[in-house]
Amino acid sequence: MIKLKKLRRNDSLGPLESVLFLDFIKGLTITMKNLLRKPITTQYPKEKITPPKRFRGKHGHFVYDGQEPPSLKAIEGFMSFEKGKSRCVACYMCQTACPMPTLFRIEAIQMPDGTKKVVRFDMNLLNCLFCGLCVDACPVECLTMSDIHEMAVYRRAQAVIHMDDMEKIGATNAAAVRNLPDRIWRDDKERETLWGKVKWNF
Amino acid sequence: MNDMVFTAIVIAIKILVVLAVTLGLGAYLTWYERKFAGHLQARRGPTVVGPFGLLQPLADGLKLMTKAPIIPRGVDTKLYYMAIMMALVPAIMLFAVVPFGPSFKIMGHEIKPIVANLNIAILYVFAMGSMAAYGTLFAGWASNSKYAFIGSLRKAALIVSYEVVLGFAALSVILLAGSMNVFDIVDSQIKSGVWYIVYQPISFILFLFCLLAESGRVPFDIQEAEAELVTGYNVEYGGMKFGIFPLAEWYLNVLALCAIASVLYFGGWAGPHIFGPFSGFIWFLAKTFGLLFFVLWVHWTLPRYQAKDVVEFAWKYLLPISIINLVGTAFFIYFKG
Protein backbone atom coordinates (compact mmCIF):
# COMPACT_ATOMS: atom_id res chain seq x y z
CA MET A 1 0.00 0.00 0.00
CA ILE A 2 1.45 3.31 -1.05
CA LYS A 3 1.14 6.09 1.48
CA LEU A 4 0.15 9.42 0.00
CA LYS A 5 1.42 12.59 1.59
CA LYS A 6 -1.18 15.29 1.23
CA LEU A 7 0.04 18.86 0.87
CA ARG A 8 -2.09 21.92 1.34
CA ARG A 9 -1.17 24.91 -0.71
CA ASN A 10 -2.39 28.43 0.04
CA ASP A 11 -3.11 30.90 -2.69
CA SER A 12 -0.95 33.58 -1.09
CA LEU A 13 1.81 33.52 1.45
CA GLY A 14 1.20 34.36 5.05
CA PRO A 15 2.60 37.60 6.51
CA LEU A 16 5.49 35.88 8.28
CA GLU A 17 6.43 33.91 5.21
CA SER A 18 6.46 36.88 2.90
CA VAL A 19 8.47 39.08 5.26
CA LEU A 20 11.14 36.55 6.18
CA PHE A 21 11.37 35.02 2.66
CA LEU A 22 10.70 31.59 4.15
CA ASP A 23 9.97 30.08 0.75
CA PHE A 24 13.25 31.44 -0.59
CA ILE A 25 15.10 29.93 2.34
CA LYS A 26 13.36 26.60 1.83
CA GLY A 27 14.55 26.48 -1.76
CA LEU A 28 18.04 27.59 -0.84
CA THR A 29 18.39 24.85 1.77
CA ILE A 30 17.41 22.25 -0.81
CA THR A 31 20.07 23.40 -3.26
CA MET A 32 22.63 23.65 -0.46
CA LYS A 33 21.92 20.05 0.46
CA ASN A 34 22.51 19.12 -3.16
CA LEU A 35 25.77 21.04 -3.17
CA LEU A 36 27.09 19.00 -0.26
CA ARG A 37 25.89 15.78 -1.83
CA LYS A 38 27.85 13.60 -4.21
CA PRO A 39 26.95 14.25 -7.86
CA ILE A 40 24.63 11.61 -9.27
CA THR A 41 25.82 12.09 -12.85
CA THR A 42 26.63 9.00 -14.86
CA GLN A 43 29.54 10.07 -17.04
CA TYR A 44 28.13 8.31 -20.05
CA PRO A 45 30.92 7.20 -22.36
CA LYS A 46 33.12 6.36 -19.37
CA GLU A 47 30.53 4.66 -17.20
CA LYS A 48 27.25 3.10 -18.23
CA ILE A 49 24.22 2.01 -16.29
CA THR A 50 23.13 -1.57 -16.83
CA PRO A 51 19.68 -1.49 -18.39
CA PRO A 52 16.80 -3.23 -16.59
CA LYS A 53 16.03 -6.86 -17.21
CA ARG A 54 12.96 -6.19 -19.28
CA PHE A 55 14.69 -3.51 -21.35
CA ARG A 56 13.49 -3.54 -24.94
CA GLY A 57 16.58 -2.98 -27.08
CA LYS A 58 18.03 -4.51 -30.20
CA HIS A 59 16.36 -7.74 -31.27
CA GLY A 60 17.95 -11.15 -30.97
CA HIS A 61 17.17 -14.76 -31.80
CA PHE A 62 17.51 -17.48 -29.22
CA VAL A 63 19.43 -20.33 -30.71
CA TYR A 64 18.62 -24.02 -31.01
CA ASP A 65 20.43 -25.34 -27.94
CA GLY A 66 18.18 -27.76 -26.14
CA GLN A 67 16.26 -25.22 -24.01
CA GLU A 68 13.29 -25.13 -26.35
CA PRO A 69 9.70 -24.80 -25.13
CA PRO A 70 7.26 -27.68 -25.75
CA SER A 71 5.67 -25.79 -28.62
CA LEU A 72 8.88 -26.12 -30.57
CA LYS A 73 9.44 -29.72 -29.55
CA ALA A 74 6.20 -30.63 -31.36
CA ILE A 75 7.32 -29.40 -34.76
CA GLU A 76 11.03 -29.93 -34.35
CA GLY A 77 10.95 -32.81 -36.79
CA PHE A 78 9.64 -30.68 -39.59
CA MET A 79 12.37 -28.05 -39.28
CA SER A 80 15.98 -28.25 -40.37
CA PHE A 81 17.68 -26.65 -37.35
CA GLU A 82 21.36 -26.54 -36.63
CA LYS A 83 22.91 -26.43 -33.16
CA GLY A 84 23.82 -22.84 -32.25
CA LYS A 85 21.71 -21.37 -35.05
CA SER A 86 18.40 -19.56 -34.88
CA ARG A 87 15.36 -21.57 -33.87
CA CYS A 88 12.96 -19.44 -35.91
CA VAL A 89 10.21 -21.41 -37.60
CA ALA A 90 9.18 -18.63 -40.04
CA CYS A 91 5.56 -18.58 -38.84
CA TYR A 92 5.23 -14.82 -39.58
CA MET A 93 3.54 -14.29 -36.20
CA CYS A 94 5.95 -11.49 -35.39
CA GLN A 95 5.19 -9.75 -38.65
CA THR A 96 1.47 -10.14 -38.06
CA ALA A 97 1.71 -8.65 -34.60
CA CYS A 98 3.93 -5.79 -35.71
CA PRO A 99 2.40 -2.32 -36.01
CA MET A 100 4.79 -1.69 -38.90
CA PRO A 101 4.84 -5.11 -40.61
CA THR A 102 6.97 -4.08 -43.57
CA LEU A 103 10.07 -3.88 -41.43
CA PHE A 104 10.30 -7.68 -41.45
CA ARG A 105 11.73 -9.66 -44.35
CA ILE A 106 11.31 -13.35 -43.58
CA GLU A 107 11.99 -16.09 -46.08
CA ALA A 108 12.07 -19.87 -45.75
CA ILE A 109 12.81 -22.64 -48.21
CA GLN A 110 12.01 -26.32 -48.40
CA MET A 111 15.02 -28.56 -48.08
CA PRO A 112 15.37 -31.70 -50.28
CA ASP A 113 14.34 -33.87 -47.33
CA GLY A 114 11.08 -31.94 -46.98
CA THR A 115 12.01 -29.94 -43.87
CA LYS A 116 11.71 -26.18 -43.61
CA LYS A 117 14.73 -23.90 -43.31
CA VAL A 118 14.65 -20.19 -42.52
CA VAL A 119 17.13 -18.46 -44.79
CA ARG A 120 16.36 -14.87 -44.15
CA PHE A 121 15.16 -12.88 -41.17
CA ASP A 122 15.86 -9.16 -41.59
CA MET A 123 14.50 -6.32 -39.48
CA ASN A 124 14.74 -2.73 -40.49
CA LEU A 125 15.19 -1.13 -37.07
CA LEU A 126 14.70 2.35 -38.47
CA ASN A 127 11.00 1.53 -38.67
CA CYS A 128 10.89 -0.35 -35.40
CA LEU A 129 9.31 1.31 -32.40
CA PHE A 130 10.51 -1.30 -29.92
CA CYS A 131 7.06 -2.12 -28.61
CA GLY A 132 7.93 -5.77 -28.07
CA LEU A 133 4.74 -7.15 -29.64
CA CYS A 134 6.77 -9.39 -31.93
CA VAL A 135 8.52 -10.91 -28.92
CA ASP A 136 5.19 -11.65 -27.25
CA ALA A 137 3.84 -13.10 -30.45
CA CYS A 138 6.67 -15.55 -31.04
CA PRO A 139 5.25 -19.06 -30.38
CA VAL A 140 8.61 -20.78 -30.02
CA GLU A 141 10.32 -18.19 -27.76
CA CYS A 142 12.86 -17.45 -30.46
CA LEU A 143 12.61 -13.74 -31.04
CA THR A 144 13.74 -11.68 -28.05
CA MET A 145 14.99 -8.24 -27.18
CA SER A 146 18.36 -7.50 -25.64
CA ASP A 147 19.70 -4.59 -23.60
CA ILE A 148 21.72 -3.16 -26.51
CA HIS A 149 20.60 0.42 -26.95
CA GLU A 150 23.57 2.10 -28.61
CA MET A 151 22.38 1.55 -32.14
CA ALA A 152 23.51 4.66 -33.98
CA VAL A 153 24.87 3.88 -37.44
CA TYR A 154 26.31 5.89 -40.29
CA ARG A 155 24.18 4.44 -43.09
CA ARG A 156 20.58 3.42 -43.34
CA ALA A 157 21.58 0.00 -44.62
CA GLN A 158 23.52 -0.60 -41.41
CA ALA A 159 20.34 -0.19 -39.37
CA VAL A 160 18.93 -3.37 -40.90
CA ILE A 161 19.85 -6.36 -38.77
CA HIS A 162 20.09 -9.86 -40.18
CA MET A 163 19.62 -13.29 -38.78
CA ASP A 164 23.29 -13.91 -37.98
CA ASP A 165 23.46 -10.64 -35.97
CA MET A 166 20.40 -11.67 -34.06
CA GLU A 167 21.75 -15.15 -33.37
CA LYS A 168 24.86 -13.56 -31.92
CA ILE A 169 22.82 -11.23 -29.69
CA GLY A 170 20.58 -14.08 -28.60
CA ALA A 171 23.56 -16.19 -27.64
CA THR A 172 25.28 -13.44 -25.66
CA ASN A 173 23.34 -10.42 -24.42
CA ALA A 174 19.87 -11.90 -24.34
CA ALA A 175 21.06 -15.20 -22.89
CA ALA A 176 22.81 -13.35 -20.05
CA VAL A 177 19.58 -11.94 -18.65
CA ARG A 178 17.36 -14.84 -19.62
CA ASN A 179 17.33 -16.69 -16.31
CA LEU A 180 17.68 -13.72 -13.96
CA PRO A 181 14.86 -13.00 -11.49
CA ASP A 182 12.29 -10.68 -12.99
CA ARG A 183 13.38 -7.46 -11.25
CA ILE A 184 13.62 -4.05 -12.77
CA TRP A 185 17.30 -3.57 -12.08
CA ARG A 186 19.59 -6.43 -12.85
CA ASP A 187 22.27 -5.30 -10.47
CA ASP A 188 21.00 -3.58 -7.34
CA LYS A 189 24.46 -2.89 -5.98
CA GLU A 190 25.50 -0.97 -9.04
CA ARG A 191 22.28 0.95 -8.99
CA GLU A 192 22.59 1.85 -5.32
CA THR A 193 25.98 3.42 -5.84
CA LEU A 194 24.44 5.67 -8.44
CA TRP A 195 20.96 6.39 -7.16
CA GLY A 196 20.91 5.39 -3.52
CA LYS A 197 19.10 2.63 -1.67
CA VAL A 198 15.92 1.38 -3.30
CA LYS A 199 12.95 0.11 -1.34
CA TRP A 200 11.10 -2.59 -3.24
CA ASN A 201 7.40 -3.05 -2.70
CA PHE A 202 7.39 -6.78 -3.40
CA MET B 1 57.73 66.74 -12.16
CA ASN B 2 59.20 63.56 -10.74
CA ASP B 3 56.14 63.22 -8.56
CA MET B 4 53.82 63.57 -11.53
CA VAL B 5 55.63 60.88 -13.52
CA PHE B 6 55.45 58.57 -10.54
CA THR B 7 51.72 59.18 -10.16
CA ALA B 8 51.14 58.57 -13.85
CA ILE B 9 53.07 55.30 -13.72
CA VAL B 10 51.18 54.18 -10.63
CA ILE B 11 47.83 54.95 -12.24
CA ALA B 12 48.80 53.11 -15.42
CA ILE B 13 49.84 50.07 -13.38
CA LYS B 14 46.61 50.22 -11.41
CA ILE B 15 44.53 50.35 -14.59
CA LEU B 16 46.45 47.46 -16.14
CA VAL B 17 46.14 45.35 -13.00
CA VAL B 18 42.44 46.05 -12.60
CA LEU B 19 41.73 45.36 -16.27
CA ALA B 20 43.73 42.15 -16.30
CA VAL B 21 42.31 40.91 -13.03
CA THR B 22 38.69 41.75 -13.80
CA LEU B 23 38.69 40.40 -17.35
CA GLY B 24 40.53 37.26 -16.29
CA LEU B 25 38.22 36.83 -13.33
CA GLY B 26 35.23 37.47 -15.57
CA ALA B 27 36.32 34.64 -17.81
CA TYR B 28 37.01 32.30 -14.92
CA LEU B 29 33.74 33.15 -13.24
CA THR B 30 32.04 31.34 -16.12
CA TRP B 31 33.90 28.22 -15.06
CA TYR B 32 33.07 28.88 -11.41
CA GLU B 33 29.41 29.44 -12.15
CA ARG B 34 29.08 26.34 -14.28
CA LYS B 35 30.84 24.19 -11.72
CA PHE B 36 28.83 25.67 -8.87
CA ALA B 37 25.54 25.38 -10.72
CA GLY B 38 26.35 21.80 -11.56
CA HIS B 39 27.02 20.83 -7.98
CA LEU B 40 23.93 22.70 -6.75
CA GLN B 41 21.91 20.40 -8.98
CA ALA B 42 23.91 17.27 -8.05
CA ARG B 43 25.69 17.35 -11.40
CA ARG B 44 29.42 17.71 -12.01
CA GLY B 45 29.79 20.74 -14.24
CA PRO B 46 32.71 20.93 -16.69
CA THR B 47 35.17 18.09 -16.13
CA VAL B 48 36.64 17.23 -19.50
CA VAL B 49 38.85 20.17 -20.54
CA GLY B 50 41.86 20.23 -18.25
CA PRO B 51 41.90 19.18 -14.58
CA PHE B 52 38.47 19.87 -13.05
CA GLY B 53 37.57 21.47 -16.38
CA LEU B 54 39.80 24.43 -15.52
CA LEU B 55 40.66 25.14 -19.15
CA GLN B 56 36.98 25.38 -20.07
CA PRO B 57 36.91 29.22 -20.27
CA LEU B 58 39.82 29.14 -22.73
CA ALA B 59 38.05 26.54 -24.82
CA ASP B 60 34.86 28.58 -24.72
CA GLY B 61 36.74 31.73 -25.72
CA LEU B 62 38.42 29.97 -28.63
CA LYS B 63 35.12 28.56 -29.77
CA LEU B 64 33.41 31.95 -29.58
CA MET B 65 36.23 33.69 -31.46
CA THR B 66 36.28 31.18 -34.30
CA LYS B 67 32.56 31.44 -34.98
CA ALA B 68 31.44 32.85 -38.32
CA PRO B 69 30.48 36.51 -37.88
CA ILE B 70 26.82 36.60 -38.88
CA ILE B 71 24.92 39.87 -38.92
CA PRO B 72 21.18 39.49 -39.42
CA ARG B 73 19.35 41.38 -42.15
CA GLY B 74 17.72 44.68 -41.19
CA VAL B 75 20.18 45.41 -38.42
CA ASP B 76 21.17 48.96 -37.54
CA THR B 77 24.85 48.14 -37.97
CA LYS B 78 26.36 51.12 -36.14
CA LEU B 79 24.19 50.67 -33.06
CA TYR B 80 24.57 46.91 -33.31
CA TYR B 81 28.32 47.22 -32.83
CA MET B 82 28.13 50.14 -30.45
CA ALA B 83 25.83 48.26 -28.10
CA ILE B 84 28.57 45.75 -27.36
CA MET B 85 30.90 48.45 -26.10
CA MET B 86 28.06 50.27 -24.38
CA ALA B 87 27.43 47.12 -22.37
CA LEU B 88 31.06 46.26 -21.65
CA VAL B 89 32.54 49.66 -20.82
CA PRO B 90 30.27 50.66 -17.90
CA ALA B 91 30.72 47.20 -16.40
CA ILE B 92 34.51 47.62 -16.44
CA MET B 93 34.29 51.27 -15.39
CA LEU B 94 32.53 50.17 -12.21
CA PHE B 95 35.84 48.70 -11.06
CA ALA B 96 37.39 52.16 -11.11
CA VAL B 97 35.87 52.92 -7.71
CA VAL B 98 36.34 49.53 -6.11
CA PRO B 99 38.89 49.76 -3.28
CA PHE B 100 40.75 46.47 -3.24
CA GLY B 101 42.37 47.02 0.12
CA PRO B 102 43.82 49.51 2.60
CA SER B 103 46.29 52.14 1.44
CA PHE B 104 49.98 51.22 1.68
CA LYS B 105 53.33 52.98 1.21
CA ILE B 106 55.87 52.41 -1.56
CA MET B 107 59.01 54.60 -1.79
CA GLY B 108 57.54 57.18 0.54
CA HIS B 109 54.39 57.59 -1.50
CA GLU B 110 51.02 56.58 -0.14
CA ILE B 111 49.22 54.43 -2.67
CA LYS B 112 45.54 53.61 -2.51
CA PRO B 113 44.61 50.42 -4.34
CA ILE B 114 41.80 52.09 -6.25
CA VAL B 115 41.93 53.47 -9.78
CA ALA B 116 39.98 56.65 -9.12
CA ASN B 117 39.48 57.80 -5.54
CA LEU B 118 36.33 59.81 -6.24
CA ASN B 119 34.44 61.81 -3.65
CA ILE B 120 31.21 60.69 -5.26
CA ALA B 121 32.11 57.05 -5.75
CA ILE B 122 28.69 55.66 -4.83
CA LEU B 123 26.95 58.14 -7.11
CA TYR B 124 29.35 57.05 -9.84
CA VAL B 125 28.33 53.45 -9.26
CA PHE B 126 24.67 54.35 -9.72
CA ALA B 127 25.51 56.31 -12.87
CA MET B 128 27.47 53.45 -14.40
CA GLY B 129 24.74 50.99 -13.42
CA SER B 130 22.25 53.08 -15.36
CA MET B 131 24.66 53.46 -18.27
CA ALA B 132 24.83 49.68 -18.61
CA ALA B 133 21.14 49.75 -19.48
CA TYR B 134 21.96 51.62 -22.70
CA GLY B 135 24.01 48.71 -23.97
CA THR B 136 21.05 46.41 -23.45
CA LEU B 137 18.59 48.89 -24.93
CA PHE B 138 20.69 49.53 -28.04
CA ALA B 139 21.32 45.83 -28.51
CA GLY B 140 17.61 45.18 -28.44
CA TRP B 141 16.75 48.10 -30.68
CA ALA B 142 19.47 47.50 -33.26
CA SER B 143 18.84 43.77 -33.58
CA ASN B 144 15.54 44.20 -35.44
CA SER B 145 14.05 41.23 -33.64
CA LYS B 146 10.97 41.04 -31.48
CA TYR B 147 12.58 38.90 -28.77
CA ALA B 148 15.56 41.19 -28.44
CA PHE B 149 13.35 44.24 -28.40
CA ILE B 150 11.00 42.92 -25.72
CA GLY B 151 14.00 41.88 -23.66
CA SER B 152 15.58 45.29 -23.86
CA LEU B 153 12.30 47.00 -23.00
CA ARG B 154 11.98 44.80 -19.94
CA LYS B 155 15.52 45.67 -18.93
CA ALA B 156 14.74 49.36 -19.26
CA ALA B 157 11.67 49.00 -17.04
CA LEU B 158 13.72 47.02 -14.55
CA ILE B 159 16.58 49.53 -14.40
CA VAL B 160 14.20 52.47 -14.01
CA SER B 161 12.47 50.75 -11.09
CA TYR B 162 15.44 49.32 -9.28
CA GLU B 163 17.86 52.19 -9.73
CA VAL B 164 15.57 54.29 -7.53
CA VAL B 165 15.44 51.66 -4.81
CA LEU B 166 19.19 51.11 -5.07
CA GLY B 167 19.77 54.82 -4.53
CA PHE B 168 17.53 55.01 -1.48
CA ALA B 169 18.97 51.82 -0.01
CA ALA B 170 22.56 52.97 -0.33
CA LEU B 171 21.67 56.48 0.81
CA SER B 172 20.96 55.32 4.35
CA VAL B 173 24.49 53.90 4.54
CA ILE B 174 25.88 57.12 3.11
CA LEU B 175 23.96 59.00 5.82
CA LEU B 176 25.61 56.86 8.49
CA ALA B 177 29.07 57.24 6.99
CA GLY B 178 28.65 60.89 6.12
CA SER B 179 30.52 60.48 2.86
CA MET B 180 30.25 58.99 -0.62
CA ASN B 181 33.95 58.19 -0.76
CA VAL B 182 34.52 54.44 -0.46
CA PHE B 183 37.62 54.92 1.68
CA ASP B 184 35.72 57.17 4.09
CA ILE B 185 32.85 54.68 4.28
CA VAL B 186 35.18 51.82 5.15
CA ASP B 187 37.20 53.94 7.58
CA SER B 188 34.09 55.02 9.45
CA GLN B 189 33.08 51.36 9.75
CA ILE B 190 36.53 50.43 11.05
CA LYS B 191 36.48 53.37 13.47
CA SER B 192 33.07 52.51 14.91
CA GLY B 193 33.97 48.82 14.93
CA VAL B 194 30.56 47.80 13.57
CA TRP B 195 29.75 46.85 10.01
CA TYR B 196 26.82 48.75 8.62
CA ILE B 197 24.86 45.57 7.97
CA VAL B 198 24.20 45.56 11.73
CA TYR B 199 22.64 49.02 11.57
CA GLN B 200 21.04 48.59 8.16
CA PRO B 201 19.86 45.00 7.61
CA ILE B 202 16.77 46.13 5.69
CA SER B 203 18.84 48.37 3.49
CA PHE B 204 21.19 45.47 2.79
CA ILE B 205 18.35 43.20 1.71
CA LEU B 206 17.02 45.92 -0.57
CA PHE B 207 20.50 46.43 -1.99
CA LEU B 208 20.74 42.70 -2.61
CA PHE B 209 17.46 42.71 -4.51
CA CYS B 210 18.65 45.62 -6.62
CA LEU B 211 21.98 43.90 -7.22
CA LEU B 212 20.14 40.86 -8.56
CA ALA B 213 17.88 43.02 -10.68
CA GLU B 214 20.62 45.26 -12.11
CA SER B 215 22.82 42.38 -13.14
CA GLY B 216 19.97 40.36 -14.60
CA ARG B 217 20.17 37.52 -12.14
CA VAL B 218 17.36 35.22 -11.06
CA PRO B 219 14.70 35.90 -9.79
CA PHE B 220 14.76 39.16 -11.78
CA ASP B 221 16.22 37.96 -15.07
CA ILE B 222 13.14 38.90 -17.05
CA GLN B 223 15.18 40.55 -19.82
CA GLU B 224 16.79 37.29 -20.82
CA ALA B 225 14.03 34.92 -19.78
CA GLU B 226 15.09 31.83 -21.70
CA ALA B 227 11.64 30.32 -21.60
CA GLU B 228 9.88 33.25 -23.27
CA LEU B 229 12.48 35.38 -25.02
CA VAL B 230 15.02 32.79 -26.23
CA THR B 231 17.79 34.72 -24.50
CA GLY B 232 16.44 38.24 -24.69
CA TYR B 233 18.34 41.23 -25.98
CA ASN B 234 21.45 39.36 -27.19
CA VAL B 235 19.64 36.78 -29.30
CA GLU B 236 20.81 38.25 -32.62
CA TYR B 237 24.47 38.36 -31.64
CA GLY B 238 26.91 35.56 -32.35
CA GLY B 239 30.46 34.57 -31.53
CA MET B 240 32.47 36.80 -29.23
CA LYS B 241 29.96 39.59 -29.89
CA PHE B 242 27.51 37.46 -27.97
CA GLY B 243 30.07 36.44 -25.38
CA ILE B 244 30.64 40.03 -24.30
CA PHE B 245 27.10 40.52 -23.03
CA PRO B 246 26.97 37.80 -20.40
CA LEU B 247 30.56 38.61 -19.48
CA ALA B 248 29.65 42.24 -18.88
CA GLU B 249 26.30 41.76 -17.25
CA TRP B 250 26.44 38.44 -15.47
CA TYR B 251 30.03 38.49 -14.32
CA LEU B 252 31.69 41.92 -14.30
CA ASN B 253 28.59 43.79 -13.18
CA VAL B 254 27.80 41.30 -10.46
CA LEU B 255 31.39 41.23 -9.27
CA ALA B 256 31.62 45.03 -9.10
CA LEU B 257 28.29 45.39 -7.32
CA CYS B 258 29.27 42.66 -4.85
CA ALA B 259 32.48 44.57 -4.16
CA ILE B 260 30.52 47.78 -3.61
CA ALA B 261 28.07 45.94 -1.36
CA SER B 262 30.90 44.56 0.71
CA VAL B 263 32.28 48.10 1.04
CA LEU B 264 28.92 49.52 2.04
CA TYR B 265 27.70 46.81 4.38
CA PHE B 266 30.57 44.51 5.34
CA GLY B 267 33.31 46.99 6.12
CA GLY B 268 35.38 46.48 2.97
CA TRP B 269 38.79 45.22 4.00
CA ALA B 270 38.06 45.40 7.72
CA GLY B 271 38.97 42.21 9.55
CA PRO B 272 41.56 40.74 11.88
CA HIS B 273 45.17 40.92 10.64
CA ILE B 274 45.76 37.22 10.38
CA PHE B 275 47.16 37.04 6.87
CA GLY B 276 50.09 39.39 7.35
CA PRO B 277 50.44 42.41 5.06
CA PHE B 278 47.85 41.13 2.59
CA SER B 279 45.15 40.56 5.17
CA GLY B 280 43.10 43.60 4.02
CA PHE B 281 43.07 42.46 0.40
CA ILE B 282 42.20 38.91 1.36
CA TRP B 283 39.35 40.00 3.59
CA PHE B 284 37.97 42.22 0.86
CA LEU B 285 38.12 39.45 -1.73
CA ALA B 286 36.65 36.95 0.72
CA LYS B 287 33.66 39.21 1.40
CA THR B 288 33.15 39.97 -2.28
CA PHE B 289 33.28 36.33 -3.27
CA GLY B 290 31.05 35.39 -0.37
CA LEU B 291 28.41 37.72 -1.72
CA LEU B 292 29.01 36.41 -5.23
CA PHE B 293 28.54 32.89 -3.91
CA PHE B 294 25.20 33.93 -2.48
CA VAL B 295 24.13 35.58 -5.73
CA LEU B 296 24.97 32.46 -7.72
CA TRP B 297 23.28 30.30 -5.12
CA VAL B 298 20.09 32.34 -5.46
CA HIS B 299 20.39 32.32 -9.25
CA TRP B 300 20.50 28.55 -9.50
CA THR B 301 17.76 27.99 -6.95
CA LEU B 302 14.82 30.27 -7.52
CA PRO B 303 12.36 30.51 -10.38
CA ARG B 304 11.71 33.76 -12.25
CA TYR B 305 9.17 36.45 -11.42
CA GLN B 306 6.78 37.64 -14.08
CA ALA B 307 7.76 40.92 -15.69
CA LYS B 308 4.81 42.81 -14.23
CA ASP B 309 5.48 41.39 -10.77
CA VAL B 310 9.09 42.51 -10.80
CA VAL B 311 8.26 46.14 -11.50
CA GLU B 312 5.27 46.07 -9.17
CA PHE B 313 7.44 44.63 -6.42
CA ALA B 314 9.93 47.46 -6.81
CA TRP B 315 7.45 50.33 -6.82
CA LYS B 316 4.86 49.00 -4.36
CA TYR B 317 7.03 47.33 -1.73
CA LEU B 318 10.74 47.99 -2.06
CA LEU B 319 10.54 51.74 -2.65
CA PRO B 320 8.24 52.55 0.32
CA ILE B 321 10.30 50.32 2.59
CA SER B 322 13.53 51.96 1.49
CA ILE B 323 12.12 55.45 1.98
CA ILE B 324 10.83 54.58 5.46
CA ASN B 325 14.20 53.06 6.27
CA LEU B 326 15.99 56.18 5.03
CA VAL B 327 13.77 58.55 6.98
CA GLY B 328 14.15 56.41 10.09
CA THR B 329 17.92 56.48 9.71
CA ALA B 330 17.88 60.23 9.20
CA PHE B 331 15.82 60.75 12.37
CA PHE B 332 18.11 58.42 14.29
CA ILE B 333 21.20 60.32 13.20
CA TYR B 334 19.58 63.69 13.84
CA PHE B 335 18.56 62.87 17.40
CA LYS B 336 21.26 60.42 18.51
CA GLY B 337 24.25 61.06 16.33
Mean pLDDT on B303-317: 84
Query: Could you tell me if B140 and B151 are in contact, meaning their C-beta atoms sit under 8 angstroms apart?
Result: yes
In a domain, B31, yes or no: no
Residue A126 CA: distances (Å) to CA of A166, B266, B269: 16, 63, 65
Binary contact (A39, B302; C-beta < 8 A)? no
In a domain, B17, yes or no: no
Q: Specify the number of domains making up chain B.
A: 1
Q: Residues of A42-74 as b/e, b for ≥16 C-beta within 10 angstroms? A: eeeeeeeeebebebbbbbbbbbbeeebeeebee
Digit-by-digit pLDDT tens for chain A (202 residues) are: 678 878 777 767 677 777 777 778 888 888 888 888 888 777 888 877 777 778 888 999 988 887 888 888 888 888 888 888 888 888 899 999 999 999 999 999 999 988 999 999 999 999 999 999 999 999 888 898 988 888 899 999 999 999 998 998 888 888 877 777 766 666 666 666 666 665 655 5
Q: Which of A32, A34, A39 sits opposite B44 (nearest CB)?
A: A39
Q: How close A59 comes to chain B (CA, Å)?
A: 33
Mean pLDDT on B308-319: 85
Instruction: Write down the pLDDT at residue A188.
Output: 64
Q: How close A125 comes to chain B (CA, Å)?
A: 33
In a domain, B259, yes or no: yes
Question: Which tens digit of pLDDT belongs to each residue from B155-165?
Answer: 888 888 888 88
**Dihedral, CA of residue B115, residue B121, residue B127 and residue B132, to nearest 10:** 40
In a domain, B52, yes or no: no
Confirm or reject contact between A31 and chain B (CB < 8 A).
yes
For residue A67, which phi and psi values (nearest 5 degrees)? -105, 30
Confirm or reject contact between A33 and chain B (CB < 8 A).
no
Q: Which residues contact B80 (CB under 8 A, 6 or more apart)?
A: B71, B139, B142, B143, B236
In a domain, B225, yes or no: yes
At residue A24, the 3 state secondary structure works out as helix
Identify which of B329, B308, B214, B199 has the alpha carbon closest to the alpha carbon of residue B264.
B199
Q: How close A28 comes to chain B (CA, Å)?
A: 6
Residue A63 CA: distances (Å) to CA of A160, A172, B334: 20, 10, 95
Q: Which of A31, A38, A43 sits opposite B297 (nearest CB)?
A: A31
State the residue range of the domain holding B245: 77-336
Identify which of B205, B173, B201, B202 has the alpha carbon closest to the alpha carbon of residue B186.
B173
Q: In B, which residues are within 8 Å of A28 by CB distance? A: 297-298, 301
Question: Which tens digit of pLDDT belongs to each residue from B276-286?
Answer: 777 888 888 88
CB pairs below 8 Å between A and B: how many? Answer: 37
In a domain, B103, yes or no: yes
Residue type, B324: I
Instruction: Write down the pLDDT at residue B49.
Output: 85
Note the residue count of chain A: 202
At residue B85, the 3 state secondary structure works out as helix
CA distance A107 to A92: 9
In a domain, B43, yes or no: no
| Residue among A25, A34, A40, A46 with most chain B CBs within 10 A, to mutate | A34
Binary contact (B40, A40; C-beta < 8 A)? no
Q: What percent of chain B has pLDDT over 90?
A: 1
Confirm or reject contact between B38 and chain A (CB < 8 A).
yes
Q: If contacts are CB pairs under 8 Å, which of residues 37-96 in chain A contact chain B?
A: 37-41, 43
In a domain, B27, yes or no: no
C-alpha A57: how far from its chain's center? Answer: 4
Instruction: Write down the pLDDT at residue A5.
Output: 79
Q: Residue B77: is its pLDDT beyond 70?
A: yes
Q: Which residues contact A194 (CB under 8 A, 6 or more apart)?
A: A40, A42, A49
Residue B198 CA: distances (Å) to CA of A89, B169, B272, B292: 84, 14, 18, 20
Lowest-confidence region among B106-115, B154-163, B228-237: B106-115
**Dihedral, CA of residue B266, residue B249, residue B122 and residue B175, to nearest 10:** -50
Query: Could you tell me if B239 and B68 are in contact, meaning their C-beta atoms sit under 8 angstroms apart?
Result: yes
Task: Categorise residue B99: left if φ over 0, alpha if ψ from -120 to 50, beta otherwise.
Answer: beta
CA distance B169 to A138: 75
Q: How close A198 comes to chain B (CA, Å)?
A: 18
Instruction: Write down the pLDDT at residue B278.
Output: 78
Query: Could you tell me if B87 and B214 are in contact, meaning their C-beta atoms sit under 8 angstroms apart?
Result: no
Mean pLDDT on B16-31: 85
Task: Write a three-state SS string for B270-329.
Answer: CCCCCCHHHHHHHHHHHHHHHHHHHHHHHHCCCCCCCHHHHHHHHHHHHHHHHHHHHHHH
Q: Hey, which residues does A116 pair with through a beta bridge? A: A79, A110
Categorize the per-residue pLDDT at B64 as very low, low, confident or very high, splitting at 50, 70 and 90: confident
Identify which of B252, B250, B259 has the alpha carbon closest to the alpha carbon of residue B221.
B250
What pTM does this model have? 0.78
Question: Which tens digit of pLDDT belongs to each residue from B125-176?
Answer: 888 888 878 888 888 888 888 888 888 888 888 888 888 888 888 888 888 8
Q: In B, which residues are within 8 Å of A34 by CB distance? A: 39-42
Question: Which tens digit of pLDDT belongs to each residue from B233-260?
Answer: 888 888 888 888 888 888 888 888 888 8
